[in-house]
Amino acid sequence: MFRTELAEALKAYEKYIICIDKTPDKFEESLYSLMQKAIKAYETRGPTLRHGIALDRQVTIILSQTDEERPLCGIYFNLHSPYQKQGTAKATGAHK
């Protein structure tokens, strides 16, 4: 299930994403593991919930209920830069 979505995410990772934490092989392993977790979360969700979600530091997978039997699958890269500026509240200490 979701082979097309997984293949597209793997192709995008190899082409566009630089990740110091994971090689493409490790990314593929974690992607398949996250998909299994998202499927389990989706299948065991409560009656009023519409999504199954699994994530780690690099990827979020969301399965969303539709009117059809097969849920929609979204695979998102959690982009981060070590050069990202601190938020205003953190920089000024306003959250104390």
Q: 29 is written with which tokens? A: 């392993």
Mean pLDDT of 21-44: 92
Bridge partners of 62? 53, 74
pLDDT digits (tens, 9 = 90+) for 42-65: 999 999 999 999 999 889 999 999
**In whole numbers, what is the pLDDT of the chain averaged over residues?**
84
pTM, to two decimals: 0.74
- Give the residue from 51, 96, 95 showing the smallest Cα distance to 76: 51
Q: Is the pLDDT of residue 96 over 50?
A: no
Q: 81 is written with which tokens? A: 């830069």
